[in-house]
Every structure is written in C-alpha cells, then in structure tokens.
Amino acid sequence: MSDTLYGSIEIRGARENNLKNVSLDIPKRAITVFTGVSGSGKSSLVFGTIAAESQRLINETYPAFVQQFMPHYGQPDADSLQNISAAIIVDQQRLGGNSRSTVATVTDAAQMLRVLFSRLGQPHLGSPNLYSYNDPRGMCPECEGIGQVAAMDMDAVVDESKSLNEGALLPKDYAVDTWYWEIYKNSGLFDMDKPIRQYTREERENLFNLDDGRKIKVGKIGLTYEGIVVKLKKGLGSKDPEGLQPHVRVEYDRIFTRKTCPACAGARLNAAALSSRIEGKSIADCSAMQVSDLAPFIRSIEAASVGPMLDALAARLENLITIGLGYLSLDRESSTLSGGESQRVKMVRHLGSSLTDITYVFDEPSVGLHPHDVGRLAGLMQQLRDKGNTVLIVEHKPDMIAIADHVVDMGPFAGSKGGEVVYQGDYAGLLTSGTLTGNHMRKYQPIKETVRKPDGALEIRNAILNNLRDVTVSIPRGVLTAVTGVAGSGKSSLIQGCLPKAYAETVIIDQNLNRGSRRSNTATYTGILDHVRKAFAKANTVEASLFSANSKGACPDCNGLGVIYTDLAHLDPMVTTCETCEGKRFTEEVLAYDLRGKSISDVYEFAVTDACAFFSEPAIAKILKGLEDVGLGYLTLGQPLSTLSGGERQRLKLAAELGKKGNIYVLDEPTTGLHMNDVDTLIGLFDRLVDQGSTVIVIEHNLDVISRADWVIDLGPGAGHDGGAVVFEGVPADLVHAAHSLTGRHLVERGH
Ligand code: ADP
Ligand code: ADP
Ligand code: ZN
Ligand code: ZN
C-alpha cells in the first residue's frame, strides 16, 4: 500500500517547535500513524506543519477582502512543503454549542429524519421545517424549542430576614447602590429598613410582581419599574444558559433550575409536529431512541418511494454504531459529549462524504474506546483510505498502530531531546527497529498478583443516574482501583456522577483547566513564578514586583505576554510576536538583571527539565520535580495553558497533588496522549499517591493500567440500556477468568 503510486507529501527541513530539520515523504492514499513519546514532536509535525500549511493554502484561495477576516496562519517553519492536499482535522475539541445542538444536528441525521417524516408521517404536514424545533412553526411555544423551562429558586433571589438597605436582593445586579436597587429605592413603594419578612401582602406583590409600566427616575434617567421576579424572568431567565458567559452562567445556575417543559414534556415540538407518526412513533420518539434501536427501526420501514432516503439515514446511524456510539440518542445535546465522543461524532459526518483526495488528520481517535471497539474504528479508517483519501493519525494504542501502511516514529525523547524521525517504514519494521515504540509494542505489564490491602471502603448505594441499574458497589479505600467497561457502559455516570455526591471530598482530576486569561502559563499555574521573582529580586537587590508581567517592568506594548493577540470575530485570534520586545516580555532595564547568568526572559524559555538543572532553590526545585515526575519535563515555563493538550492539562493538575496525603482521586482516562513508555511512569505515580495514603480511582481502557490495579470494577455488559450493571468486581488476576466480561476477554486475548 505504501508505495509511491499516488505520490507523497514531501516535507523538507521542518523546524516548528522542537523539530530538528525534519525531512520525510508521507505516502498519499495510505494510512500513516505517527508515534513517539509525549513531547517528541508528533503534533508539531502533523498539526503544526502539514495541517497548518494546508489551512494556509486554502485560505489563500479566498479573495483578499475575505482573507482579512480569517485567521492568519504564518507559513510553517520549513524549507519546503510539496504536494499537500486539503486537510480536514478531526480532533477532540468538545463540540460545545448551545442546547439546540444535538447528535442529530451534528451528524445531519436531523434533516434526514425531518424529510422522512414530511413524506411518510401521518397525518402529513407540509414541509420538513414543520418538524423542526428551530422553526417557529415547529417549535413548542412554551419553551421555544429548548425542551426545558427555567424555574426560579426564591431563596437565591431574596433574603427575607434583611431589609432592602441591608441587601435583601441577592442577585449581583441588584446589590445595594446598583442601578436596579435604586429603582426599588426611588419607587417610594417600600420602607427601605423593614425586613422583607415583615412586608404586607401588597408590599410583597409590589416587590416581586408589579409590572404596570410606571417610570422611576434614577439619576437623570427614567426607568421602567418591574418587580424582581418579572425582571429576572424576562432577563436572565429567558436566556439559553448554554450560551452564557461563565460568570453569568454561575449566577444563572444559582437562581434558576431547569425543569422539563410541561407543555411538550421535553420533546421541544408543538402538538401538530408531535401528532404526526410513522408506525406509531413521533419524530421526538425516534430522536429519543438509542441509535442502536433506531437503526433497525428505520431499516424495517417499507416504503419504496423513499427507499434511497431510508438507506442514507440507516447508513448514517449504522456508522454511529460501528464507531461505538450506538448507545447515544439523536436528541443528546452535543455539549454533554466527552472529547472522545465528540471526535467520533464528527468522524461520522466525514464517513458519509464522497469527497476523495482529502487528507484527514486524527488526534488519537481511539480515546474513550474499549479495546473491543478499537478494531471497528480501525476498519472505518481503512474505508476512508479506500475511498482515495490520505489518513494521518497520531496514536499510542498498539492495535491502532498495527493498521498503519506507514509508520513515522518520532523521538528519541521529548522536547529538545526529540524532534527527529527515529523510524519510518512499515509496521513489521517498527517491531524490530529498536526504538522505544518498537520495543514496547509487544511488552505488556504483567498482571499484578500481590495486591494491596484496603483500609475501608467507599460505598455507592442504589445509583440510578443515566443508565445505571440500581448499582450498589463498594470501592476499596487506600488502593488503586480501575473502573472499566465499553464506552457508554456507565463508568462516568457512576464515578464522576454518583461518587462525589456521596463523598464530597473527592478530587476529580479532569482535563479542564480554568485557562483563565492569556496570562496563564506553566509558570503561573504551578506558582513557580512567585518564587522565581523573589530569587531574581534577592540576587539583584531590587523589588520582586519588577519581574512581574503585570508591573511597570513589563513591555508596555504586549503587557508582558511577548505576543500580540488580535481578536477576530468568531475566529481564533491572530497571534504575532511583539515587535517592541521581540518576544522577551520585559523592558531593557529588567532584562539587564540576571540570576546566575540568565535573564527573566530566559527563564520563561526554559523547558522544565532545563529549569530543574538550573534552580537549586528548594521551593522551585520541588515544583519542577513534580512536573518532571508526571512526564511534563518538555514543557517550557512560559508555554500558555491554551496550547496544552487535554492529557497534558490533566497531568499538570496531577503534579500539584503529588505531595498530598489521604485524598480520594478520580481520573478519567489519564493515559490519553501518553506513549506506552510514559504509561509506565504514570502507573508509578499512582502507586506513589496510594503509598502516601490516598485512594486512586481511574476510569481506563488501557490494559497495562488495568493489569497493575489492586481492584477492578467492570461495568457492562454493553452500552446504554445494555449496560449500567457491575459485571465484575475483584482483583485483576480474577478478571482474566470472568468469561462474561469483555474487558477480561481482552486481557486474555493479548496474552497477558
Ligand atoms: P507530541 O505531539 O509528540 O506530544 P509536540 O509536538 O506537542 O509533541 O511538542 C514538541 C515540543 O514542542 C515540546 O517540547 C513542546 O513543549 C513544544 N511545543 C509544542 N507546542 C508549543 C507551543 N505552542 N509553544 C511552545 N512550545 C511548544
Ligand atoms: P461511560 O463513562 O462508560 O462511557 P457514561 O456514564 O458516559 O458511560 O454513559 C452511560 C449512559 O448514560 C449512556 O447511555 C449515555 O448516553 C448516558 N449519558 C451519559 N451522560 C449523559 C447526559 N449528560 N445526558 C443524557 N444521557 C447521558
Ligand atoms: Zn416545550
Ligand atoms: Zn512586548
């Protein structure tokens, strides 16, 4: 397959990030898998060079007028890039979106289903749009197609024990001395010093519900009076919470709880749309079915007139099933999908496409998939190739690497010790190449025989969240527990949904970081920068604040960022190096101060590993050691958090926990983004946390991690309504004999 029949993408002298003048040819119309330890340069090559060049070329084809509104991709740092075709990146970015975005809309199944109902539904409605909850003619008038309505929590609106002057009105916008508060004050309706509890019935009615259009003067302006309940309902309460900014969303969630719309029972549609049925089912019924049930239902409909349409819809649904997402329903809001699920939903859109000669770029597509489903995913990748496309995959799982027509192994190590191609060629050659990846392909962690003794248990009783079927389970304390099962079996529902409700002290180490402002980077996040500033101040006998990016010592043009962000509506901002300081972040005066020969700007450029060698200050060395221990030695201290992958963010959080004792930690697929070699290190870290007296619970598919756990809880047997039960709990050595467990079967198959 990997001959040059169809030509190759030719890369010469690539130098993005840590790449060391990399030159290579990547065969077209073949599957190329990029491997290598984290930080070796896979993303810099695949996303930073190949995909970036493709995007740039595509953008250049637009008229200059349009181009000025598009993100500018600088030319990737390389001598030459030839033969690059249009690239589509299918990554793990969450789909996000508002509550009108669902699995159905994202996969285009929504439109197909509406057309089908407009042709076959009884009674017949006119056009497909009459079945749409986004169309005023189709939507439920009560909830406007959201399926839920907001109910107000009055305890979050007024504190009845206080007077208006004492701040009885609780929403932020109504605090004492705000404009809204002045309206109530100037209305003359209330005794400002009387606690609300003592109000007469009429006073209460005025404060909450009065809405007669009267004007009240505040300053020089006349404003319309509205009781606070009315005002909140019309204002915040009418908004789609999914579209709110985070701080407004917090306020929304404090005041409103969402409940199912009483008019449509959550179906989002009006009565006419819901009355139209195919074989007894409304379009809302179909959307609420698990996709693995809906597909056979669609196949069972006999209607020659719309045969091709039925086929197309069924095929789209069957692709969702093949990709391991049959447990989802079409009405599932896309904002509730995990990163791995989002990537696979996006994938389905492309599988239906008849485009050829596209370069598809996948970032670890097997994330979230049980080994049982990885084989089917590999099959879909092969289909995409066989349609005449070039498929580039960044992957760590041996089963996915095995399907490669061509392997590019990056290394030998991370950061400045990586950035080279250490092997390229076919899969068989990788196994004998002697590289870290090659060596790991057939080396498995043995199953742990001597497990730790627990010191107590965490109990979850009668859990029924999502698909959980009245699950009662105890999770041993003071040991490492792996929670396993196919995607959709209920792992997250049990461990992220139910456990923290029973044990509030649970620490969830997920992949979300409050990325906060653009000022957040590795150094600020870990708190290392405070200590570094003090060290510089001491060495130069000046004030520590001089070395702060918010101080007068910072470059006035970029305010200490080293780069200038130009915001573009709806698009990623454009980032350029600051010309004033040439990326050095500080004024000449500050840059002149040094600590053992390095300027503050040099420190920002250090990789963690280099910094380890440089700093002997105990407070700094301790934090750096933690970062190295979690395998992040290759990160530079000034690297913005926004450039970190999900797995890197999770490990950054983990590093901050390393010194702590006696906690309950939950991690969801912590091996994401990790090379097999790095997985060994990660298991070592879990052991350390447990040995320090913590309880560690990991949701994992990685068989090495499962083998090294002290206890395994396997959920299943299947996904969605076929899952939700505990099929095995015990030590890993016994899982091998649990014939009914898919996880157990895979442990056996790989020949532990
Ligand atoms: P991989 O994909 O193999 O994990 P990457 O290509 O992400 O590796 O990273 C290679 C090196 O480049 C690492 O040292 C990483 O810290 C650095 N790097 C990656 N992205 C950036 C960035 N946006 N700014 C600075 N350094 C980066
Ligand atoms: P796992 O973690 O094993 O992949 P989940 O706990 O995420 O499984 O999902 C179990 C079941 O619950 C699936 O059928 C899934 O579709 C459903 N589910 C999970 N989260 C939600 C949600 N936010 N809304 C509706 N259904 C959900
Ligand atoms: Zn409704
Ligand atoms: Zn500057």
Ligand 3 centroid distance, CA of 119 (Å): 24
Ligand 1 lined by 40 (C-beta under 6 Å)? yes
Listing DSSP states for 206-235 in one string gives: HHHH--S--EEEETTEEEE---HHHHHHHT
SS3 150: strand
CB 210 within 8 A of CB 190: no
Measured from the alpha carbon of residue 141, the closest ligand is 3
Distances (CA, A) of 93 to 89, 96, 368, 627: 10, 8, 14, 25
Ligand 3 centroid distance, CA of 488 (Å): 28
CB 120 within 8 A of CB 278: yes
| 720 Rama sector, left if φ>0, alpha if ψ -120 to 50, beta otherwise | left
The two tokens of residue 212 are 């007669």
The two tokens of residue 49 are 């060079």
Tell me the mean pLDDT per 10 residues along the chain, length 752. Answer: 74 96 97 94 94 86 70 79 91 76 93 96 93 96 90 92 96 92 95 96 96 91 93 86 80 89 95 97 97 97 93 94 93 88 87 85 90 87 93 94 97 92 97 94 88 97 96 98 95 95 91 69 92 96 91 91 73 76 94 96 95 95 93 91 81 89 93 87 93 96 95 95 96 92 88 56
Please state the φ and ψ torsions of residue 296, each to the nearest 5 degrees.
Answer: -65, -30
Ligand 1 lined by 43 (C-beta under 6 Å)? yes
Ligand 2 centroid distance, CA of 538 (Å): 54
- The Cα 715–Cα 730 span in angstroms is 12
Ligand 3 centroid distance, CA of 133 (Å): 9
Look at the block and give the residue holding tokens 């399907």: 403
Strand order in the sheet with 22-27: 22-27, 8-14, 80-82
Long-range contacts of 551-555 (CB under 8 A, 24+ apart): 553/586, 553/587, 553/589, 553/590, 554/585, 554/586, 554/587, 554/590, 555/580, 555/581, 555/584, 555/585, 555/586, 555/587
Q: Which residues pair with 530 in a beta bridge?
A: none
- The Cα 447–Cα 33 span in angstroms is 28
Whether the CA torsion 669, 670, 674, 675 is positive or negative: it is: negative
Q: Which residue's C-alpha comes closest to atom 18 of ligand 2?
A: 466
Looking at ligand 2, which atom is closest to the CA of residue 290?
14
Ligand 1 lined by 415 (C-beta under 6 Å)? yes
Ligand 2 centroid distance, CA of 339 (Å): 13
Q: Where are the alpha helices (DSSP H) in 90-178?
A: 103-107, 109-120
List of E strands, 627-678: 664-668
Q: How many CB atoms lie within 10 A of CB 116?
A: 23
Report the residue among 37, 42, 44 best suited for mutation to probe ligand 1: largest number of ligand atoms under 8 A from its CB: 44
Ligand 1 lined by 437 (C-beta under 6 Å)? no
Looking at ligand 2, which atom is closest to the CA of residue 327?
14
- Exposure of 293 by Cβ count < 10 A (0-12 exposed, 13-18 middle, 19+ buried)? middle
Would you report the helix, strand and coil content of the chain in percent, each value rounded to 5?
40, 20, 40
CB 670 within 8 A of CB 650: yes
- The Cα 741–Cα 716 span in angstroms is 8
Which of 594, 586, 529 has the alpha carbon at shortest distance from 560? 586
Measured from the alpha carbon of residue 561, the closest ligand is 4
Report the residue among 467, 468, 484, 721 best suited for mutation to probe ligand 2: largest number of ligand atoms under 8 A from its CB: 467
- The Cα 417–Cα 186 span in angstroms is 69
Ligand 3 centroid distance, CA of 143 (Å): 4
Ligand 4 centroid distance, CA of 587 (Å): 8
The two tokens of residue 179 are 């404009």
Measured from the alpha carbon of residue 149, the closest ligand is 3
The two tokens of residue 483 are 């929670």
Ligand 1 centroid distance, CA of 735 (Å): 38
- The Cα 114–Cα 119 span in angstroms is 9
- The Cα 459–Cα 392 span in angstroms is 44
Which of 291, 369, 280 has the alpha carbon at shortest distance from 331? 291
- The Cα 495–Cα 473 span in angstroms is 11
- Report residue 471 CA to chain centroid gap: 27
Q: In terms of residues, how long is the chain? A: 752
Ligand 3 centroid distance, CA of 267 (Å): 7
Looking at ligand 1, which atom is closest to the CA of residue 645?
7
Entry pTM: 0.83
Interface ipTM: 0.93
Looking at ligand 1, which atom is closest to the CA of residue 37?
3
Ligand 4 centroid distance, CA of 586 (Å): 7
Tens of pLDDT, residue by residue over 198-248, are 999 999 999 999 999 999 999 888 899 999 999 998 888 888 777 778 788
Please state the φ and ψ torsions of residue 46, each to the nearest 5 degrees.
Answer: -75, -50
Looking at ligand 2, which atom is closest to the CA of residue 336?
23
- The Cα 91–Cα 89 span in angstroms is 6
Q: How many CB atoms lie within 10 A of CB 24?
A: 16
Q: What are the pocket residues of ligand 2 if the criterion is a CB atom closer than 6 Å to any ligand atom? A: 327-328, 332, 336, 466-467, 485, 487-493, 720
Please identify every residue whose CB atom is under 5 Å from ligand 4, which is an ion. 555, 557-558, 578, 580-581
Tally the C-alpha atoms within 13 A of residue 65's C-alpha that lie toward its C-beta. 0
Measured from the alpha carbon of residue 555, the closest ligand is 4
Look at the block and give the residue holding tokens 């009662």: 472
Report the residue among 15, 17, 561 best suited for mutation to probe ligand 1: largest number of ligand atoms under 8 A from its CB: 17
Q: Which residue's C-alpha comes closest to atom 26 of ligand 1?
A: 17
Tally the C-alpha atoms within 13 A of residue 312's C-alpha that lie toward its C-beta. 17
Report the residue among 492, 496, 667 best suited for mutation to probe ligand 2: largest number of ligand atoms under 8 A from its CB: 492
Report the residue among 15, 16, 18, 628 best suited for mutation to probe ligand 1: largest number of ligand atoms under 8 A from its CB: 18
Ligand 4 centroid distance, CA of 616 (Å): 29
Tens of pLDDT, residue by residue over 97-106, are 778 889 999 9
Which of 142, 145, 118, 116 has the alpha carbon at shortest distance from 133? 145
Residue 674 has a pLDDT of 87
The two tokens of residue 523 are 């150094």
- Exposure of 266 by Cβ count < 10 A (0-12 exposed, 13-18 middle, 19+ buried)? middle
Ligand 2 centroid distance, CA of 327 (Å): 8
Ligand 1 lined by 18 (C-beta under 6 Å)? yes
Ligand 1 lined by 22 (C-beta under 6 Å)? no
Distances (CA, A) of 307 to 112, 142, 277, 319, 330: 13, 36, 18, 18, 21
First to last CA, the chain: 31
